[in-house]
Structure 1
Amino acid sequence: MFCVILHFNSHLHKCMFVAALFMICEGFLVKGPSGPLIVPLGSSVVLPCYVDDPLPLKGLKVIWVRTDANTLVHVFQDYESRPDAQYQDYHDRAHFFTDKIKHGNFSLRLENVRAEDKGFYRCKVYTEQESDETLIQIKSVEHLMVSGSNHPVSAYVGEDITLNCFADSHIPPEEIDEVSWRKTDKNEIIQVLVFEKNKIIPADERYRHRVDFFTAEIPKGNFSLRLKSVRTEDKGVYMCQVFAGNFSANTTAVLEQLGFSVLHIIVLILCIVASGSALVLSVLWYLKQRSSNTTKALFLQMSVVTVPNVVMFFAFLFWGVIEGFLSETVACCAHYFLRPLLLLWAAPHSKHFPGSRETVVHCIIHLQYSLFTNVVHSVLFKSFWEKSLRYEESDKVLITILFGIMILICIVNIVFLLAELITYKDVRIHVVLDLVSDIGHDVLPPLQLIFLFYAFGAARRALFVLGVFPLFLTLTRYDWNKACVEKLQCSSLFRRAAWLSFMITVNAIMVYSYLIALEKEKDCVGWVCVAAFLQGLWGIVVLKHSFDDLDLPFRRVVYLIGSVGVVLVNSVALMTELIMKVVDGERAMEDLRKVVFSSECLFVSSVLLLIIFEPYIKKFQQHFQREAAGTPHNLSNQNQAAEEMCELRSLRETE
């Protein structure tokens, strides 16, 4: 009986074990994706293959096969992946999720999908008892390929070039979301041109009106860039990037070896001619003015004043055509076109010019200030107008009105100045001129600041300027010289030092205000240098003083610095800028206005100092001459009285 029971129990355990195996293995079903897969080119894709219930790892074998090519993709056997069994094309690209296999997940990860990966894949799962499989299809590989030129593009400045970019794709051009051309610079990425949703959008102003697509070729996938009138600053690496849906691709084009153009050579020759003529003519003038031939000396002086500056005007003009920096070109050209007026005012032989010395002196420097102010603020207004889309209509109207008032004041000044030069004997015109010019020059500086603050995004600061406007008028219109002499009985030295301090303070405030107002502009420093020179001219106009009373050596030294030294510095700077840009593709100076107007500010400042401290400079000269001649130091009372009367002379003459 006991034996029968043991025998029965043995058979029962066997039956239960067989039943358990049957329950585990029977009916396992390998599942895959619900439909074909569409895969982006170069991406990774998971080919699904799994069972609902985990299978025992003992005897488990999983084989992935590419059916249409009959190639082995990957194998799992004996508890591990077998990459050594893979076909070579799938090495390091096809992987199991090894830690998921024990949970019944036999999916395969295929990386860096290629166009030839399209096809059918079979996932077959084996156990010790049975097997099952599923079929997965990669229906298509969405690909976007962009190609260009393998060779750099070389050109001369001024030529037109083509930078190649071809989109080779089954995606129609109308389904391409965006094509963008960018120039990768050292410090920034410059947007050159954009094709977006069948529209061509111009980008950076440096390339405006110079770049375009070949519109008729776009349907063929040709997005090559046509770059017109190549400049030295265009040298560099350009990227064409194409976006279509979730895909993007790019290619690069290199523009290098920009050689000297004819205009480059012309500019270099003009710079050499300007500096050479300034040196030669100044030497001839210096030798001739020591003789008694005043006519020849005057002719040579007129040549020194006009020839080098006219040549530099054309040099900067051609430079602007080549490089196209609008603000720099206009400011430098306008300055050299008007610069002879400043030099004529400071010229030693200007007393021999026709007409009243006082009238001519006042008119020519006043005329230069008015004309140059017009030019400067016209360029600033253009810069504002290009960015005016972000402004409210009311702000745009207000800024335009302010600009119009400034221009009107300058035009009225110019008309009256020209009228006085022609009919300066007419007392009525002279009175009207004084009234208009005085009010105009007192009003202009505050108006300029209000315009700048409103136009370049600092409207709250403009209200502050509006608040101090009456105070500014009071300071400039009040007869400080009369008050100091008659009421306070100040010494001449104190009065002149006070006036110098006032001029420095006002001009420093103006220049700093330009810096604050234009701080967000790329060429802020260049504009500040222009503003400093403009304020120097304003100081000379306000002083209303003759520069013809100073004798040698100081006046002629300062005059030679302005007529020769400044031209030499600027011509060398322009040549250096041109050569460095052609050779290295980079600017030697960020802004030529820094050199041009900084050097001019030194000249104007020297002139202002000579005017203000003229009596003391003359005293020093006389003392030096007496020392050289052995004259006694003590002077007669009559001479001392004469000097005192000279010192009491007003710096700012009023009616």
Structure 2
Amino acid sequence: MKFICLTLLLVSGITDSRSEEFEVVGPADPVFAVAGEDVILPCFIKPNISVVDMRVEWFRLDQKDSVHLYEDHEDRDTEQIQSYRGRTKLIHQELQRGNTSLKLSTVRVSDEGRYKCFIQSKSWSDDATVDVRVEAVGRPPVITVDGFDRSGGLHLQCESEGWYPEPDLEWLDSEGVSLSSETTETHRNTDRFSVKHTITVYDSNDKIHCRVKLRHHMLETLINTTNNMFISWRTSVILISVFVVLIVIAGILIVVFSHKHRAHDQLQKAHDQLHDGKSRIQHGEYFSIFQQ
């Protein structure tokens, strides 16, 4: 009889243990979040049993403290990473359905990383990893005209800042054909990137697009290269050329005038010296006659 009771208890214990077995499931692909917005980090258990009485912990693989901890039917933040306080939330109503997804509010670039969703019952535990990628959308690109070259090409500069990760910047003509940038600059300030590219165009009446993009976001600005721009350039070149010619002519006149003035001064000086010599000779003859 005792043997039968012991066997029943053992079988009952094994059955209860197996009834608590579950699998924690996370997303197969990275979760993309936008800086400044909210994001849901998915995590579920299979079968969809209640986890109200279990321990649910979210943490980062590169840090030891919790991102969020649920234990003994309440959220605990005593060991929560300071930068996450007030920004994480579990939907308690969803815990009954085995949904332990975490809501992260006001996403920051520093939130990017790998997270682990860990669920533990009295006799079983499992976890899943969630890869979070953060994108920060910068300011719309600004195109400025940076002058002309000697052959009449129009220099254009496109600049945009506030992006993460480093964005791609490309120039396109009105037909959507990519144009090669001549110079490229990239700078990183704290956790954001700024980009600046330049290009030279020779066609008037064309629409030139500057496009800055990440994987899921894109901003674009265009400029119309009108005939007036190139006419203004030609007018400027003509005016500058005339101005240079006038300066050269003025320089030549100044040199000629200076040379004539110097020659006149030398001639006047020689004439004065000759006059002084004659005066001395006449004065000497008069003095000799007076002595006699």
Q: TM-score, normalised by structure 2?
A: 0.49
Identify the structure with the greater helix proportion. 1
Of structures 1 and 2, the one with the larger relative CO (CA 8 A, separation 6+) is 2
Identify the structure with the greater strand proportion. 2
